[in-house]
Amino acid sequence: GGDLHQLSSGQISKLINIKYHGDATLLIKQLSMDLARKESELAILAKEKFSNEQRLIRLCNEYGNLSTLEIHHKLNEKSEPEDHHHHHRWNEKEELRDVTQHQETGLADEKTQPNKSWLRNWFNSTEDLTTTGLTLSVLLVSSSYTNLVQGPTKSYNRPHSRSLTQLKRAPEPSSSTISEKDPVEMENILINGTYKEKDPVDSLPAEDLHIDKYGFFTDIEPIKKLATVIRSSLTSSDTTSELVTFKSPLQTIHQLKEIGKIHDSISLQFEHQWEILMKEIEKDFFAYSKDKGIDVGIDMMIGMKGLNLIELDNFNDKGLIKGKTDYYNRLVNLTTLLGIPSKFRFKLWLQLSGAKNLRVNGEYNELLNEAKYHEGIANNNKEDNSKIDNRLKIINHNIKQIKLDLHRTLPRNYYFNNLIELKPGPNYYKLQRILYAFVAYRPDIGYLQGMNKIVGNLLLLLIKGGGSNANLESHDRYDEEDVFWIFIGLIEEILPKYSHKIVPHEASPSLTLEQDESFYNSLLSIRVDQIVMKTFYLDQMLPKLSLHFRSIGFEIELVTMNWWLTLFIDLKFLDLDTWFKVFDNLLIGGFKEPNSAPIDEPQNDSELVQHSVEEIKKAIKLITLTLSILKCLEPTILSMSDKDSLYELLNS
Partner 1 sequence: MSQGNFAQFKLVLLGESAVGKSSIVHRFVKNTFDDMRESTIGAAFLTQSITLPESKTTIKFEIWDTAGQERYKSLAPMYYRNANAALCVYDITSKASLIKAQDWIKELKKQAPEGIVISLVGNKSDLTENREVEEGEVDEYIRQMTEDGSVIITSECSAKTGDGVLDIFNKIGRALPVEEAVGGNRSRQAGRRPGGVDLGRTNRQQTQSSSCC
Q: Write out the DSSP string of 264-333.
A: HHHHHHHHHHHHHHHHHHHHHHHHHHHHHT----GGGSS-GGGHHHHHHHHHHHTTSSS----HHHHHHH
Q: Give the nearer residue to partner 1 in terms of CB position, either 243 or 410.
A: 410
Where are the alpha helices (H) located in 576-606, listed in sequence order?
Answer: 576-587
Q: Give the nearer residue to partner 1 in terms of CB position, either 67 or 432.
A: 432
Residues 264, 579: Cα–Cα separation, whole Å: 19
* Minimum separation from the CB atom of position 652 to partner 1 (A): 5
Longest dimension (CA), the chain: 125
Q: Give the nearer residue to partner 1 in terms of CB position, either 112 or 401.
A: 401
* Minimum separation from the CB atom of position 242 to partner 1 (A): 32
326: phi then psi, degrees, rounded to nearest 5: -135, 45
Q: Give the nearer residue to partner 1 in terms of CB position, either 114 or 426.
A: 426
Q: Give the nearer residue to partner 1 in terms of CB position, either 131 or 380.
A: 131
* Minimum separation from the CB atom of position 650 to partner 1 (A): 8
Q: Give the nearer residue to partner 1 in terms of CB position, either 92 or 405.
A: 405
Cβ–Cβ under 8 Å, residues 343 and 473:
yes
Q: Give the nearer residue to partner 1 in terms of CB position, either 356 or 534.
A: 534
* Minimum separation from the CB atom of position 489 to partner 1 (A): 21
* Minimum separation from the CB atom of position 408 to partner 1 (A): 4
Helix axes 426-441, 480-489, angle to 10 degrees: 40
DSSP H or E stretch at residue 142:
helix 109-150
* Minimum separation from the CB atom of position 418 to partner 1 (A): 12
Q: Which residues are near partner 1 by CB under 8 A? A: 131, 134-135, 138, 220, 401, 404-405, 408-412, 417, 446, 448-450, 452-453, 523-524, 527-528, 531, 535, 550, 552-553, 555, 557-559, 561-562, 565-566, 570, 644, 647-648, 651-652
* Minimum separation from the CB atom of position 215 to partner 1 (A): 14
Q: Give the nearer residue to partner 1 in terms of CB position, either 72 or 527.
A: 527
SS3 501: strand
Q: Give the nearer residue to partner 1 in terms of CB position, either 153 or 535.
A: 535
Nearest to 549 by CA among 485, 614, 422, 642: 642
- Residue 13: how many other CB atoms lie within 10 Å: 13
Q: For residue 603, is it left (φ>0), alpha (ψ between -120 and 50) or beta?
A: beta
Cβ–Cβ under 8 Å, residues 526 and 564:
yes
* Minimum separation from the CB atom of position 364 to partner 1 (A): 24
Q: Give the nearer residue to partner 1 in terms of CB position, either 326 or 517.
A: 517
* Minimum separation from the CB atom of position 568 to partner 1 (A): 12
Amino acid identity at 532: V
* Minimum separation from the CB atom of position 623 to partner 1 (A): 16
Q: If 0-12 CB within 10 Å is exposed, 13-18 middle and 19+ buried, where does residue 177 land?
A: exposed
Q: Give the nearer residue to partner 1 in terms of CB position, either 478 or 647.
A: 647
Helix axes 342-352, 576-587, angle to 10 degrees: 40
Amino acid identity at 332: V
3-state secondary structure string across 204-235? CCHHHCCECCCCEECCCCHHHHHHHHHHHHHH
Which residues on neighbouring strands pair with residue 514, listed in sequence order? 501
Residues 381, 379: Cα–Cα separation, whole Å: 6
* Minimum separation from the CB atom of position 463 to partner 1 (A): 19
